[in-house]
Amino acid sequence: MNQSNLDLEVRTLQIQNEKLLRAIEEVHTLLQNPEEQSLLIKEFYTIEDCAKLKGGAALNTYKASRFLLPGCGNSRYAAYIAGRLCFPREEVIRWLKITDAQYIDYARECGISLIPEKFLKLAKKASGTMEAI
């Protein structure tokens, strides 16, 4: 093996080490932040928590339309904790991964058969199946 190949391998290892160090620093930062850490272990999440985690829309938008919340408004995916509407962690995690393009399928999985027209249009637009809006 010649010197240039060794130099290339050493440089590749240095780059990999730098990437690993950055990843470890990110994990360390997450573990040091108690607010984020406590957010990961809650059993139930309020509408405010869900809006913060999901983003993409204002809190008032989520409050105005239960269809946009975890479980799409189906009461079997919600509970009241101390008088506040909350959602179980497992459903919130599932809901966080859903995009507008997947939302109609998600709603059907949640047992919702009547989809508001506004959300049908949003899903079509997001999936690219709508020609012109």
Lowest mean pLDDT among 26-40, 41-55, 85-99, 113-127: 26-40
- Sequence-separated (6 or more) residues with CB below 8 Å from residue 46: 84, 85, 86
Which pair of structure tokens corresponds to residue 38? 């406590």
pLDDT exceeds cutoff 60 at 26: yes
Give how far the C-alpha of residue 130 lies from the chain's centroid of Cα atoms, to the nearest Å. 25
- Put simply, whether the predicted model's pTM sits higher than 0.75 gets the answer no
